[in-house]
Structure 1
Amino acid sequence: MIRGVRGAITVSADQAEEVLKETKRLVLEMAKENKIDPEDVASVIISTTTDISSAFPAKAVRTIEDWNYVPVMCTHEMDVPGSMPLCIRVMMHVNTELEQKKIHHVYLNEATKLRPDLSAKSQVISK
């Protein structure tokens, strides 16, 4: 069965090095928390807020060992007034036997504010 695994992270500035580093950190943490093998990933969609344009976050995923064949696509989030700035969101479609409620969605840095109901474990990781 395919399940969606969500994650989000913020960066302090739109700088290519930081965007790539934090995207990689988020994807690796999502994989670790859910015991995801890249062979089980059907696809990954990464969105950024419109204030991020210095790098394609998908590039970070392609640099992770054994992830270079995983289909990854980038897009921008809707530009809603008052939304969280400098935010990278990941939706990973994964073949898994885990029940929906057993999926660990990962929110790091300021992104923990997006889903406080799902972020309790992520807050520990961020520190």
Structure 2
Amino acid sequence: MSVRGIRGATTVEKDEAQEILKATEELVLEMAKVNRFDPEDIASVIVSTTVDVKAAFPAKAIRSIEGWTYVPVMCTHEIDVPGSMRKCIRVMMNVNIETKQSDIQHIYQNHAVQLRPDLQK
């Protein structure tokens, strides 16, 4: 078993708590489903947001999912690069998984699909 980094990103239309929490939950659940791992397999999760996403901690959404209470999660802000994507939530999960690095499926939703079109399957 190896620790693999699994990336994901999504965007929200408005900086509203309910929208941030919903988008984050949808993203991480798809990351787990597509890559076939359970919360117990997760070593840690780092969630970053662009500076215009501040109405809620996305980590709250992750810890609120049934079975995910004890997953270590930390939030931070992305570097505010001029011209970069706005209202974006990015996730990096470190997961204990048998899957080869080249077979990991990174998940990009909403406007975030523009970030890594090369990784879309």
TM-score (norm 2): 0.98
Question: Where in structure 1 do 4 or more consecutive aligned residues deviate above 6 Å?
Answer: none
The match for 1:46 is 47
Q: Does 1:25 align with 2:26?
A: yes
Give me the whole-angstrom Cα distance separating, in 2, the residues matched to 1:100 and 1:47. Answer: 22
The one-letter code of the counterpart of 2:70 is: Y
Q: Deviations over 1:36-68 (max 9, x none)?
A: 100000000000000010000000001111100
The match for 1:76 is 77
Percent identity at matched positions? 66
Give me the whole-angstrom Cα distance separating, in 2, the residues matched to 1:82 and 1:59. Answer: 28
The one-letter code of the counterpart of 1:57 is: P
Give me the whole-angstrom Cα distance separating, in 2, the residues matched to 1:115 and 1:29. Answer: 17
Question: Would you say how many aligned residue pairs link Structure 1 and Structure 2?
Answer: 120
Shift of residue 79 of structure 1?
A: 0.2
Give me the whole-angstrom Cα distance separating, in 1, the residues matched to 2:23 and 2:106. Answer: 16
The match for 2:96 is 95
TM-score (norm 1): 0.93
RMSD: 0.5
The match for 1:58 is 59
| Unpaired segments ≥5 residues, structure 1 | 122-127
